[in-house]
A and B are shown apart, each in its own frame.
Chain A
Amino acid sequence: MNTAVKELGELVGREYKEGFVTDIEAETLPPGLDESVIRFLSAKKSEPDFILEWRLEAFRRWQEMDKPEWAHVHHDPIDFQAISYYSAPKRDEDRPKSLDEVDPKLIETYNKLGIPLEEQKALAGVAVDAVFDSVSVTTTFKDKLAEAGVIFCPLSEAMANHPELVREYLGSVVPASDNFYAGLNSAVFTEGSFVYVPKGVRCPMELSTYFRINALNTGQFERTLIIADEGSYVSYLEGCTAPMRDENQLHAAVVELVAMKDAQIKYSTVQNWYPGDEEGRGGIYNFVTKRGACRGDNAKISWTQVETGSAITWKYPSVLLEGNHSTGEFYSVALTNNCQQADTGTKMVHIGEHTSSTIISKGISAGRGQNAYRGLVKVLKGAKGARNYSQCDSLLMGDRCGAHTFPYIEVKNPSATIEHEASTSKIGEDQLFYCRQRGLSEEDAVSMIVNGFCKEVFRELPMEFAVEAQKLLGISLEGAVG
């Protein structure tokens, strides 16, 4: 074991806990992972004891778990002892002073996406000047949410202020033992969002749109917990169309959604992490566990995702349909260009009676990109009258990319109805020429054809997000033809 880690661990484990935390405010943990690191992380956030215990238990189990090898992705082995599990926020003097100091390519992309200047600064990690007062904006919306009784705060804050909710629901959908990466996340998660919508409340705004900037820097092991109590509704937006700078290569987030009786959660993601260069060097490994549970009757959970970034994406937003007449939906666009690899899909587990699920997956492969859809539709014995409709479409650009579909269906109740449709098409020279003959540039033509292909998914996104997502696809595919 790394001696530096050992020393820290010894210190953290002893009586100087609080004082120590203040002392190393601006430090970064050396690489390595053991119990002392976890104690350190927990102490840093002054977490309740039950959280620390939960983390430690997760860590013990994780050490006995094997890395999943079944996904259709290839990468060098990850050395989990080579990763630092805590780094303090960057100090202003270490950041770029203005946008002039930022990679002009990044700025060009921001401009193409039409991102406002102040937001660009925040995204690029520029030390924010005094003129830009994001705090007041945030406060306004926080007041509005509080009025409605909605709790929306960092997870660490929720642990301190609403420990009973966190204790009841954290890990209740994705247990620490669920899979390798969820286990790792449970042990070392750093921050994330917490949402609680009380009974009968319709959340008055799309959550996180206005918090986009503030939600940054949540780190590589993000953990989100959203609870929609009976009869409530919430729409949550995650991510950002702009490519974000991040020095951490491995990301292993966990998102848990709980929808009680008659409640509805709509969760939308646009993910555009750095995909690596054209040869596949660098780039984020994104291993995410996302799952929702429809706990009560008539509950509904809807996942919509647009995945264009990351070198490797490993992600299966799923729904456990426990309540009778509950509904699960999954709408996905996954784009791989250059050397990107994506293995993504969903699991719909029908447990209650007359539960229904819809899966619409659109995979786009360009360059040498590899795109796999992996989906499981499982109907348990008691799920009388369960229904599923799955549609998986793949679009290929060029002849060096690949599309793969792995649908798994397990049905234990004979009254279930399962429909699966799949198609693979190539972006046609005919289509491109037709558009160009009408006056579109080649790039605009590709963008239009691809956006048309993804239309069924985009219309599930909140309006503002949908417009950004369309532009994003066009930009991500630049240079993919010709």
Chain B
Amino acid sequence: MLKISDLKVTVDGKAILNGLNLEVGPGEVHAIMGPNGSGKSTLANVIAGREGYEVTDGSVSFLENDLLEMAPEERAHEGVFLAFQYPVEIPGVANIALLKEGLNAARRHRGEKELDALDFLKLVREKLKLVEMKEEFLYRSVNEGFSGGEKKRNEIFQMAMLEPRLAVLDETDSGLDIDALKIVAGGVNALRSEDRSVILVTHYQRLLDYIVPDYVHVLAGGRIVRSGDKGLALDLEERGYGWIEAGDSATA
């Protein structure tokens, strides 16, 4: 599904990712953990195609295509979805309007018919239930005046609507209370399937109690320094990132 090889990325001339390797197969859930500043969000943004990140070396292929050659919207059409750490507010633009445009753009790209208003609304109502959102959310401006939890739920709702093949969740758990976390995790779990892969970028192990990953990777100094299963996340929680970083420098 996704293959990242020796990826090196700089931001404003500063090296952030220093030769990162990662392979994600269909249906797999990978958790990327690491301390602040280790490059977790950079990885998420590079996959989605945000400007300001310079790839100096390496490659990223998605379904055999060179992802780095594609514009952000093309990646979206191919099935890459990013749940933002800080979803932006867009005043005056109704949530539902943005979603409908996005969904239909992807459908056009796939050569499918655009959904008419009725079918679209049917789909919307079905997906709203996943994240326990009220219909009134749809008609409010995108993220404007939403609480932190509402914003994150809205991200998962959009993911449910767009049905991506690869979802990257960038610190979706940050700023959530336990109830909201359960709702968000429930939404993600409901969307797990054999042909949909998920990358969870997170700082804390807490999220992984609710979304159980197949693999856990620890990112430090711009590289993946350790990979394992769910147990690795528990070790990390117990011993802190210092344990890995110390080990990393010892092997270096």
Q: Which residues of A contact B (CB under 8 A)?
A: 428-431, 433-442, 444, 448-449, 451-456
Judging by beta carbons under 8 Å apart, are B73 and A439 in contact? yes
A351 CB, min distance to chain B CBs, angstroms:
34
Judging by beta carbons under 8 Å apart, are A444 and B101 in contact? yes
Known contacts A434-B87, A438-B76, A439-B106; is A429 also within 8 Å of B51 by CB?
Answer: yes
Judging by beta carbons under 8 Å apart, are A448 and B162 in contact? no
Judging by beta carbons under 8 Å apart, are A438 and B99 in contact? yes
State in angstroms the CA–CA spacing of A448 and B93 once bound together.
7
Interface string of B62-75 (1 = CB under 8 A from A): 00000000011101
A381 CB, min distance to chain B CBs, angstroms:
39
Contact of A439 among B50, B51, B76, B84 (CB under 8 A): B76
State in angstroms the CA–CA spacing of A449 and B72 once bound together.
17
State in angstroms the CA–CA spacing of A451 and B92 once bound together.
7
**Would you list 29 pairs from A and B whose C-beta atoms are within 8 A, ordered by A residue?**
A429-B51, A431-B88, A433-B50, A433-B72, A434-B142, A435-B102, A436-B49, A436-B76, A437-B48, A437-B75, A437-B81, A437-B82, A438-B102, A439-B73, A439-B76, A439-B102, A439-B105, A439-B106, A440-B73, A440-B98, A440-B102, A440-B105, A442-B71, A448-B90, A448-B97, A449-B90, A452-B91, A453-B92, A455-B92
Judging by beta carbons under 8 Å apart, are A448 and B71 in contact? no
Contact of B51 among A433, A440, A452 (CB under 8 A): A433
Judging by beta carbons under 8 Å apart, are A434 and B84 in contact? yes
State in angstroms the CA–CA spacing of A435 and B141 once bound together.
13
B77 within 8 A of A: yes
B103 within 8 A of A: yes
State in angstroms the CA–CA spacing of A453 and B141 once bound together.
11
Name the residue on A nearest B108 (C-beta): A439
Known contacts A436-B71, A439-B162, A440-B73; is A452 also within 8 Å of B90 by CB?
Answer: yes
State in angstroms the CA–CA spacing of A201 and B87 once bound together.
51
A residues within 8 A CB of B92?
Answer: 451-456
Judging by beta carbons under 8 Å apart, are A451 and B93 in contact? yes
B residues within 8 A CB of A440?
Answer: 73, 98, 101-102, 105
Judging by beta carbons under 8 Å apart, are A428 and B88 in contact? yes
Judging by beta carbons under 8 Å apart, are A439 and B101 in contact? yes
B60 CB, min distance to chain A CBs, angstroms:
16
Known contacts A444-B105, A448-B97, A448-B101; is A436 also within 8 Å of B73 by CB?
Answer: yes
Known contacts A448-B93, A451-B93, A452-B91; is A439 also within 8 Å of B103 by CB?
Answer: yes
State in angstroms the CA–CA spacing of A231 and B128 once bound together.
48
A457 CB, min distance to chain B CBs, angstroms:
10
B243 CB, min distance to chain A CBs, angstroms:
35
B18 within 8 A of A: no
Known contacts A439-B162, A452-B141; is A434 also within 8 Å of B90 by CB?
Answer: yes
Name the residue on B nearest A449 (C-beta): B90
Known contacts A433-B50, A452-B93; is A442 also within 8 Å of B88 by CB?
Answer: no
A residues within 8 A CB of B81?
Answer: 437
A residues within 8 A CB of B141?
Answer: 452
B residues within 8 A CB of A438?
Answer: 76, 98-99, 101-102, 158, 162
B95 CB, min distance to chain A CBs, angstroms:
11
Which 10 pairs from chain A and chain B are nearest by CB?
Answer: A452-B92, A452-B93, A438-B102, A439-B102, A455-B92, A436-B72, A439-B76, A439-B105, A430-B88, A436-B73
State in angstroms the CA–CA spacing of A449 and B101 once bound together.
13
Q: Count B interface residues, CB 8 Å.
A: 33
Q: Within residues 43 to 58 of chain B, which ones have a CB less than 8 A from any CB in chain A?
A: 48-52
Q: Within residues 86 to 142 of chain B, which ones have a CB less than 8 A from any CB in chain A?
A: 87-88, 90-93, 97-99, 101-103, 105-106, 109, 141-142
B residues within 8 A CB of A453?
Answer: 91-92
A residues within 8 A CB of B91?
Answer: 452-453
State in angstroms the CA–CA spacing of A290 and B154 once bound together.
45
Known contacts A442-B73, A444-B105, A448-B93; is A435 also within 8 Å of B98 by CB?
Answer: yes
A333 CB, min distance to chain B CBs, angstroms:
12
Known contacts A449-B93, A453-B92; is A441 also within 8 Å of B73 by CB?
Answer: yes
Name the residue on A nearest B104 (C-beta): A439
State in angstroms the CA–CA spacing of A448 and B75 once bound together.
20
A residues within 8 A CB of B88?
Answer: 428, 430-431, 434
A167 CB, min distance to chain B CBs, angstroms:
46
B residues within 8 A CB of A435?
Answer: 90, 98, 102
A residues within 8 A CB of B48?
Answer: 433, 437
A residues within 8 A CB of B73?
Answer: 436-437, 439-442
Further pairs besides A436-B49, A437-B73, A448-B98: 12, Cβ < 8 Å: A428-B88, A429-B51, A431-B90, A435-B98, A439-B101, A439-B102, A439-B105, A444-B105, A448-B93, A449-B90, A451-B92, A454-B92
A residues within 8 A CB of B77?
Answer: 439
Judging by beta carbons under 8 Å apart, are B72 and A437 in contact? yes
* Residue with the highest number of chain A CB atoms closer than 10 Å, among B77, B90, B99: B90
B residues within 8 A CB of A434?
Answer: 84, 87-88, 90, 142
A residues within 8 A CB of B109?
Answer: 439
A residues within 8 A CB of B51?
Answer: 429, 433
Judging by beta carbons under 8 Å apart, are B90 and A441 in contact? no
State in angstroms the CA–CA spacing of A453 and B72 once bound together.
23
State in angstroms the CA–CA spacing of A440 and B102 once bound together.
5
A458 CB, min distance to chain B CBs, angstroms:
9
B residues within 8 A CB of A451?
Answer: 92-93
State in angstroms the CA–CA spacing of A430 and B87 once bound together.
9
A residues within 8 A CB of B103?
Answer: 439
B residues within 8 A CB of A441?
Answer: 73, 105
* Residue with the highest number of chain A CB atoms closer than 10 Å, among B48, B73, B87, B99: B73
State in angstroms the CA–CA spacing of A433 and B45 once bound together.
10
Judging by beta carbons under 8 Å apart, are B93 and A437 in contact? no
A residues within 8 A CB of B82?
Answer: 437
A residues within 8 A CB of B72?
Answer: 433, 436-437
State in angstroms the CA–CA spacing of A439 and B75 once bound together.
8
State in angstroms the CA–CA spacing of A229 and B47 once bound together.
64
Name the residue on A nearest B168 (C-beta): A437
A residues within 8 A CB of B50?
Answer: 433
A33 CB, min distance to chain B CBs, angstroms:
46
* Residue with the highest number of chain A CB atoms closer than 10 Å, among B82, B88, B158, B162: B88
Name the residue on B nearest A430 (C-beta): B88
Name the residue on A nearest B71 (C-beta): A436
